[in-house]
Amino acid sequence: MPKSIWLNGNLVPPEQATVSVFDHGLLYGDGVFEGIRVYNRRVFKLRTHLQRLFKSARSIRLTPPLDLGALDAATRETVAANDCVDGYIRLCITRGSGTLGLHPFKCRAGAVFIIADTIALYPPELYENGLEVITSSVTRNHPAAVSPQIKSLNYLNNILAKIEAIDAGKLEAVMLNHQGYVAECTGDNIFVVRDAPGGGQELVTPPVHAGILEGITMNTVIGLAVDAGITVNRANLTRHDLYVADEMFLTGTAAEVIPVTEVDGRAIGAGRPGPVTRRLIDAFHALVSENAPED
Distance CA 160, CA 139 (A): 10
Q: Which of 3, 55, 151, 162 is catalytic?
A: 151
What are the residue ranges of helices labelled H in the chain?
Answer: 24-28, 46-59, 68-81, 124-129, 156-167, 216-227, 239-243, 275-289
Looking at domain 5-117, its CATH architecture is 2-Layer Sandwich (3.30)
pLDDT tens-digit series, residues 73-87: 999 999 999 999 999
Q: What is the pLDDT of residue 290?
A: 77
**Where are the CATH 3.30.470.10 domain residues in the chain?**
5-117
Q: Would you place residue 197 in the very low, low, confident or very high pLDDT band (cuts 50, 70, 90)? A: confident
Q: Would you place residue 293 in the very low, low, confident or very high pLDDT band (cuts 50, 70, 90)? A: confident
Q: What is the pLDDT of residue 234?
A: 97
Q: What is the pLDDT of residue 265?
A: 98
Q: What is the pLDDT of residue 139?
A: 97
Whole-Å CA distances, 223 to 63, 82, 284: 32, 31, 10
pLDDT tens-digit series, residues 115-143: 999 998 899 999 999 999 999 999 999 99
CA atoms within 13 A on the CB side of 251: 24
Does the pLDDT of residue 237 top 80, yes or no?
A: yes
Domain 124-289 fold is: D-amino Acid Aminotransferase; Chain A, domain 2 (3.20.10)
Nearest to 89 by CA among 60, 59, 53, 122: 53
pLDDT tens-digit series, residues 221-233: 999 999 999 999 9
Q: What is the mean pLDDT of residues 259-279?
A: 97
Q: What is the mean pLDDT of residues 210-227?
A: 97
The pTM of this model reads 0.95
Distance CA 266, CA 161 (A): 19
pLDDT tens-digit series, residues 41-74: 999 999 999 999 999 999 999 999 999 999 999 9
pLDDT tens-digit series, residues 93-105: 999 999 999 999 9
Nearest to 202 by CA among 179, 180, 222, 181: 222
pLDDT tens-digit series, residues 137-194: 999 999 999 999 999 999 999 999 999 999 999 999 999 999 999 999 999 999 999 9
Whole-Å CA distances, 264 to 12, 46, 109, 226: 45, 36, 46, 30
Q: What is the pLDDT of residue 109?
A: 86
What is the chain's mean pLDDT, rounded? 96
Distance CA 278, CA 281 (A): 5
Q: What is the pLDDT of residue 199?
A: 82
Q: What is the pLDDT of residue 121?
A: 87
Give, to the nearest 10 degrees, the angle between helix 46-59 and helix 68-81. Answer: 130
**Where are the CATH 3.20.10.10 domain residues in the chain?**
124-289
151 counts as catalytic: yes
CA atoms within 13 A on the CB side of 253: 24
Looking at the DSSP assignment, which residues form a beta bridge with residue 201?
A: 195
Q: What is the pLDDT of residue 169?
A: 98
Q: What is the pLDDT of residue 294?
A: 83
Does the pLDDT of residue 200 top 90, yes or no?
A: no
Q: What is the pLDDT of residue 47?
A: 97
Nearest to 167 by CA among 127, 131, 134, 120: 134
What is the end-to-end Cα distance of the chain in Å, rounded? 27
Distance CA 31, CA 62 (A): 8
Q: What is the pLDDT of residue 39?
A: 96
